[in-house]
Amino acid sequence: MKPPAFAYHAPRTTDEALATLGELGDDAKVLAGGQSLVPLLNMRLAAPAALVDLAHLDGLDAIEVSDDRVRVEARVTHERLRRHPAATDAVPLLREALDWVAHPVIRNRGTALGSIVHADPAAELPAVLSLLGGQVELATSGGTRTAAADDYLLGPLESDTRPGELATALVLPRPGVRTGAAFDELSRRHGDYALAGVAVTVTLDADLAVATARAAFIGVGATPVRVDLTDSLSGQAHDALAPADAVGLARDVIEPTDDIHATADYRRHLAGVLLERALTTAAGRAAAGGTA
Ligand SMILES: Cc1cc2nc3c(=O)[nH]c(=O)nc-3n(C[C@H](O)[C@H](O)[C@H](O)COP(=O)(O)OP(=O)(O)OC[C@H]3O[C@@H](n4cnc5c(N)ncnc54)[C@H](O)[C@@H]3O)c2cc1C
């Protein structure tokens, strides 16, 4: 199928993009990498009157790494971020999560921030943003605001991106010392959206026992489902985890549903298996000194 007709705007500067989005309001959609929006247009599941394409903007393409955070602007593709040593050394979970995102062709066009705005419940980066307590920066021609991940990710394919707004950057805090992370998922074919997946961070104390443990699941709820596992795991030695309680807790909290790919029961079981593996990996990485 072909997309419905739309007006096409190709601003050259961020100010021009914000002015255009402000004028068009609800009628416009931002076109970033197009890897989610174009299929939706072609299937006629979206029919905006106008597209505002970021491809020709001069700017919004920086990756900034500082002592306390990594900031990724709107035009940075998945693949560019995945291959950015300073960013992925600062937040190694980013690289592991991005390894699971789609295929190289899609990663070369799709943007990291676009995936967060798009808010697919099975997408990897929204879970990373939620787990690490990241933020999204947004702008209109009238000003800017910052939204915390949990306030921003509202539901399936629903983020708090308001008419006239452009999401300009995602911000991830750098994890603290003795923190390890891992991402694991299962999909029917590598590169497909996951049937279920999980991102985990484990922080150890000075004796290398678990101080805190957290998980964010994908594919088993309307948004990434964050679960604090600290009570179930704290005090356990990093190399002798007994994760049964944590797995039980997580399986109780998540809310998977049946679809043509898998039953809810299968997803619940799978989520627990993936969690157990990811916890072991993350604890080992934390003990080895890795910072998530
Ligand atoms: C076959 C296939 C497999 C895929 N597998 C995965 C996968 O496993 N994991 C995964 O996470 N993704 C997957 N994707 C999606 C891919 O990651 C997309 O790149 C991503 O979801 C959206 O990024 P984009 O830059 O392409 O955004 P677009 O498609 O251009 O936009 C998506 C939505 O976000 C809005 N938007 C984008 N950027 C902004 C912005 N800066 N400000 C305001 N609104 C904005 C658009 O208006 C639109 O509503 C897959 C896609 C395909 C086609």
Judged against a pLDDT cut of 90, whether residue 241 lies above it is answered with: yes
Q: In percent, how much of the chain has pLDDT > 90? A: 95
pLDDT digits (tens, 9 = 90+) for 38-60: 999 999 999 999 999 999 999 99
pLDDT for 156 equals 96
- Stretch 95-115: mean pLDDT, rounded? 96
Q: Is 244 buried (19+), middle (13-18) or exposed (0-12) by CB count in 10 A?
A: exposed
Q: Provide the pLDDT for residue 292.
A: 56
Per-residue model confidence (pLDDT) at position 2: 85
Is the pLDDT reported for residue 1 higher than 90? Answer: no
What pLDDT was estimated at residue 234? 97
Domains by residue range for the chain, with CATH: 7-53 (3.30.43.10), 63-173 (3.30.465.10), 179-287 (3.30.390.50)
Task: Give the per-residue pLDDT at 190.
Answer: 84
> CB of 113 closer than 6 A to ligand 1?
yes
Average pLDDT, the chain: 96
* C-alpha 103 to ligand 1 mean position (Å): 13
**What predicted TM-score, i.e. pTM, was given to this entire model?**
0.96
Closest CA to ligand 1's atom 37: 114
Q: Which atom of ligand 1 is nearest to the CA of 167?
A: 42
Q: Is the pLDDT at 239 greater than 80, yes or no? A: yes
Q: What is the pLDDT of residues 110-166, one digit of tens each?
A: 999 999 999 999 999 999 999 999 999 999 999 999 999 999 999 999 999 999 999
Ligand 1 centroid, distance to 36 Cα (angstroms): 4
Q: How confident is the model at residue 189 (pLDDT cuts 50, 70, 90)?
A: confident
pLDDT above 70: residue 289: yes
Average pLDDT for 83-99: 97
- Whether 70 contacts 85, CB under 8 Å: no
Tell me the mean pLDDT in the region 84-104: 96
35 ligand 1 Cβ < 6 A: yes
The reported pLDDT for the residue numbered 227 is 98
- Give the pLDDT confidence of 17-33 residue by residue, as tens digits: 999 999 999 999 999 99
The Å distance, Cα 118 to ligand 1 centre, comes to 6
Q: For a ligand 1 pocket test, name from 6, 21, 37 the mutation site with the most ligand atoms within 8 angstroms of its C-beta.
A: 37
For residue 78, the CA-to-ligand 1 centroid distance in Å is 10
